[in-house]
Structure 1
Amino acid sequence: MTTLLCQAIQQRQVIRIRYNNKWRTVEPYLVGRHNDTDKPTLRAYYVDAPFEDQSSQRQHWRLFTVAKIEAIEQTTSTFRIRADYDPVDDNILRVDCRA
């Protein structure tokens, strides 16, 4: 799973992930080990969050536990690095790959 996520990050490819039984469209930016849990974690920007998981907006930054990602679908869309992206993520201890 980490390899597929890193490939998407390197190619700046928008992906769809199935997470907690819901499909989410995201721009993947970073994969590494979470500071608190040491679990592989994805930092991504939600392009289209499910209504019940929108935390007051349809687009926002989010951390996803890689082990909870049930499936990944590639899309034909690519993305540009967002101005508010910080490649030094305080939540991630060890980085596997990053945009």
Structure 2
Amino acid sequence: MDISLQNKFLQLIDSAIKSRLVVQLKHKGTWRTVEPYMAGIHQQKQTASLYCYCRDVIPGQQLGNTRWQIFNLDDIEDMELTLYGFETHIDYRGKAESFKPVYAKMAA
């Protein structure tokens, strides 16, 4: 991924987290609606990643029964900030141990 595009995405994610705004992202050709909670370097994958709550469900791609997902920023083709707000989910516990360094994070 181009570093300027990655920086653009990280700035948008940071703004969305601070303002608690929903994000639309195009992931591997499919638009997804997500609530961003954390962005940083994923420890296992060593890639810039986004931890978020997915508002939509894609049949056949849902892992287990969770809507919490980690997206590799390299797999995101486009991203848009919406005007839709969200409240922190009761089951959000943070994933700081999975991300180092953390670029942006919602308080648990």
**TM-score, reference length from structure 1:** 0.88
Equivalent residue for 2:29, pick from 15, 21, 25 = 21
Partner AA of 1:87 in structure 2:
G
- For the 8 Å contact 1:25–1:49, the answer to whether it is kept is no
CA-to-aligned-CA distance 1:52-79 (integer Å, 9 cap, x gap): 322354x610000012111112222110
CA distance in structure 1 between the aligned counterparts of 2:95 and 2:34, rounded to whole angstroms: 19
Equivalent residue for 2:63, pick from 55, 61, 76 = 55
Show structure 1 runs of 5+ residues with no match. none
CA distance in structure 2 between the aligned counterparts of 1:75 and 1:52, rounded to whole angstroms: 26
Identity among equivalent pairs (%): 29
Show structure 2 runs of 5+ residues with no match. 1-8
| Bigger fraction of residues in helix | 2
Number of residue pairs matched?
98
**TM-score, reference length from structure 2:** 0.82
